[in-house]
Amino acid sequence: MAEGAALPIETLADPVTGRSLWVEARGRLLNNKAAVTSIVVLGLIAIACIFGPFFTGHPFDQVYPDYVKVPASLEAYPKADQITPQIERIGARVRGKPEDIQVKGDSVTVTLVGQRPIDERLLAYFDRSDMFGVAKVVDKADEGKRLVVDVPLKKKYFLFGTDTNGRDLLTRTMKAGQISLAIGLLATFVAILIGVVYGATSGYLGGRADLVMMRIVDVIYSLPFIFFVIMLVVFFGRNFILMFIAVGAVEWLDMARIVRGQTLSIKRQEYVQAAEALGVETKGIIRRHVIPNTLGPVVVYMTLLVPKVILLESFLSFLGLGVQEPNTSLGVLISEGAKNIQGATWMLLYPSLTLIAILFCLNFIGDGLRDALDPKDR
């Protein structure tokens, strides 16, 4: 006489297909505004990180020596106050004193006055600068001692500013987001794959097998994580793939424990005993009965594991054990930003905001999933 709020459905009207618990959970998830917003925002961030670098106009490893640590701005660079000093610098190299600098729209007209005739080949210095295009001589006077030069401006946008090497921070943040999300998802996937299979097997077999398998987990647990990573780095050298191995090798332990606990209670369920009475093999029971029923908590844990892994990666990169230049990750960017917090706050601000946005979204999605999959709602 189990009697709760939900009444048994006595009449089932349309007989075609049933609504699985997953479908019902999806319905509940879609009713959760915070979770849906987070999914949309996270999706947009992911799309921006993957495709954004093609549209910013800057390769992620392009260095602009003339734009070192320029602040974030919606206006195009070069700014008016940057042009004159730069032309003066070039003038010194060309051995001509710039006079009468006039900025007209997309080009600058400047008169170079030298003590000797100016070598026009030296005008290539304009093109080598990040600010200007190929200079064109408009007028010559005084036997070439006086040159009127028309220089087109190269307009560049640095929406997030640039870093200490003069690289576009927007592109680098997107690249970093790519790498952080990839590490987060892949390492989580690896951790969950190992953890679920290991935990379900251990829990279902029980007895001595369970004891041995869980003691192995305990032993790996007791290794200090940083020590473990440093050891891997020493043996195999710095490598992007090491990140997955290191993070995955540590994070599956939690997953295995969670799944084992779930399995222990599922094992007592009558549907597992019914399968045993049918003669289903251990493999079949674990695959068809145990694992599908542990997936609720696993999915929730996964959304919480992704931010954890991203933070771990950030931490390793912060220590210099992670991703290497010119590749980058959010952890690397934040670490650099922290060093330059005086005078270049944008270097810390934008990567941090991106990381925060990703973590917030993942946490809200995790909360939403937990509510949606809560077995008490059934």
Contact between 161 and 347 (Cβ < 8 Å):
yes
d(CA 378, CA 375): 5
d(CA 32, CA 19): 19
Indicate whether 284 belongs to the interface with another protein (CB under 8 A): yes
Which one-letter DSSP state was computed for residue 114?
A: -
Q: Residue 10 or 143: which CB sits closer to another protein?
A: 10
**Nearest CA among 357, 353, 311 for reference residue 159:** 353
The correct pick among 30, 47, 76, 274 for binding another protein (CB under 8 A) is: 274
Contact between 263 and 290 (Cβ < 8 Å):
yes
Indicate whether 7 belongs to the interface with another protein (CB under 8 A): yes
Indicate whether 270 belongs to the interface with another protein (CB under 8 A): yes
Stretch that binds another protein, among 56-64, 90-98, 111-119, 281-289 (CB under 8 A): 281-289
At residue 44, what is the residue type? L
Chain centre to alpha carbon of residue 124: 40
Within 295-334, which residues bind another protein (CB under 8 A)?
295
CA distances from 231 to 154, 190, 239 (A): 48, 20, 13
Q: Residue 102 or 273: which CB sits closer to another protein?
A: 273
The correct pick among 106, 119, 139, 377 for binding another protein (CB under 8 A) is: 377
Indicate whether 223 belongs to the interface with another protein (CB under 8 A): no
Chain centre to alpha carbon of residue 38: 16
Indicate whether 280 belongs to the interface with another protein (CB under 8 A): yes
The correct pick among 102, 164, 265, 273 for binding another protein (CB under 8 A) is: 273
Indicate whether 287 belongs to the interface with another protein (CB under 8 A): no
Sign of CA dihedral 296, 299, 303, 305: positive
Q: How far is the CB of 278 from another protein (least distance, A)?
A: 4
d(CA 239, CA 244): 10
Contact between 305 and 312 (Cβ < 8 Å):
no
Indicate whether 208 belongs to the interface with another protein (CB under 8 A): no
The correct pick among 13, 20, 80, 208 for binding another protein (CB under 8 A) is: 20
Stretch that binds another protein, among 22-30, 176-184, 231-239, 311-319 (CB under 8 A): 22-30
Indicate whether 28 belongs to the interface with another protein (CB under 8 A): yes
Indicate whether 367 belongs to the interface with another protein (CB under 8 A): no
d(CA 80, CA 146): 24
Q: Residue 151 or 196: which CB sits closer to another protein?
A: 196
Binding site for another protein (CB under 8 A): 1-10, 12, 15-22, 24, 27-28, 269-271, 273-281, 284, 288-289, 292-293, 295, 377-378
